Amino acid sequence: MNKKIIFAVVAIITICAVATTAFMINTNDEDSIDVHGQGRQSYDYVQGATIVKGETYEPVWNDYTNDFRPKYPQFTQEQYEWYFGELPKFPQDFFTISSLIYDGKITDYARLGDQYWKQPEFYPAWFTVLDNTSYVYFDPDMWTPEGYGCYPSIKEITTNAKGKSITVDTYFRTGFGTDAYQGLVVRPILPDQALSILGTPLFDQPSNADKYLTVKITNPDDPIYEQFKDNLIYNNVNDQDWFTILKPTHQILYDEYGNKIGESGFPEDWVRLLTIQIDLDKNIPNGDYIIAIKVDTPCFEINQEYYFAQDHEYYGAWYFPAGRYQLTGRPHFQIIMHVED
């Protein structure tokens, strides 16, 4: 059967800063938080977007999942197990904590337990796209091999750590209803401009930023990639980059005769904590800087190794060299950094 290939729109757009107020912004199925800085230059990150508060539910015990996951009338007990069975138990205080994230009252994402950020309900787009994705509606002629994004996608920070290193985190996740194991090269960059969530220029990067800033991603690379990377004659993953495999968030499972035997949903590691380390020169001038990530497609040599591993249990038969799409021409994650004394 010939399948139409579609790409999941998963621009997870969020702006977070210290000591600020936040709102949810929803542009199509995108997650967002609008936070403007106080006592410094602030930029209109969300110009043209509609501001919508994220959904919350009162905690009610769910007998299907033996935790406090919301009850969805669309799902049977079997589907609850297929889709959510590998995830941590859904906490009773989940929506209290997620609201603190939405409101910009928690911005230290690395300290937050994964029982919160591994739940699809943590990302507001879940409630927007739920009835339009494969979990409820399945089109056998469609295949969605690529979908990913960051939450937040814009984070605003202020620092006086001249001559020191700081780290900034975001959640890097697979798109909802994505079918493939996606190979991605994630690069930290110093772009020429900071952009709003709709791609409008906000300010220019200082022309000598690379003289004062060194950035790298500190996440560990994919473990199978680690096993063969030293044997490659060439690869396009540099020391400051991150190579990762994002797992699918929905698949139809078939037996050897092509009969459907079930479905799979969110694996335990469908979201990864992405950490960027920023080294600031001791002589860096005060001002506003922009650090971002760029997502590229792995080179042929890397992809070939994964194609040879098609039968590996971890990857099934659905490896896809992703990194092809960009939304509104802007990076998937931007750090707006105010440097001061």
Q: How confident is the model at residue 7, as a pLDDT?
A: 46
Q: How confident is the model at residue 144, as a pLDDT?
A: 82
Q: Which of 325, 298, 170 is nearest to 241 (CA)?
A: 298
User: One digit per residue, pLDDT tens: the chain, 341 residues?
Assistant: 444 444 444 433 333 332 222 222 222 334 444 333 333 456 777 766 665 566 788 999 999 999 999 999 999 999 999 999 999 999 999 999 998 888 888 888 999 999 999 999 999 889 888 887 889 887 777 778 889 999 888 898 999 999 999 999 999 999 999 988 899 999 999 999 999 888 889 999 999 999 999 999 998 888 889 989 999 999 999 999 999 999 999 988 888 787 888 899 999 999 999 999 999 999 999 999 999 999 999 999 999 888 887 655 444 457 888 887 666 678 999 999 999 99
Q: Which of 220, 205, 183 is nearest to 300 (CA)?
A: 183
What token pair was written down for 72? 């969805």
Q: Which of 205, 247, 208, 204 is nearest to 224 (CA)?
A: 247
Identify any residues that bridge with 294 across adjacent strands, giving them in sequence order: 187
Q: How confident is the model at residue 11, as a pLDDT?
A: 37
**What is the pairing mode between strands 271-280 and 165-174?**
antiparallel
Q: How confident is the model at residue 258, as a pLDDT?
A: 79
CA–CA gap between residue 292 and residue 194 (Å, rounded): 9
Q: What is the DSSP letter of 25?
A: B
Q: Which amino acid is at 152?
A: P
Q: How confident is the model at residue 92, as a pLDDT?
A: 97
Decide: 332 and 150 in contact? Cβ < 8 Å: yes
The residue whose two tokens read 């990194």 is: 323
Measured CA distances, 42 to 20, 36, 39, 186, 196 (Å): 11, 6, 9, 28, 12
Q: Which of 1, 10, 4, 5 is nearest to 249 (CA)?
A: 10
Radius of gyration for the chain, computed over Cα atoms and rounded to the nearest angstrom: 20
CA–CA gap between residue 119 and residue 266 (Å, rounded): 9
Q: How confident is the model at residue 54, as a pLDDT?
A: 66
Report if pTM > 0.75. Answer: yes
Decide: 123 and 172 in contact? Cβ < 8 Å: no
CA dihedral (255, 261, 263, 268) positive or negative: negative
Q: What is the DSSP letter of 205?
A: P
Query: What residues contact residue 167 under an 8 Å CB cut-off, 6+ apart?
Result: 110, 218, 275, 276, 277, 278
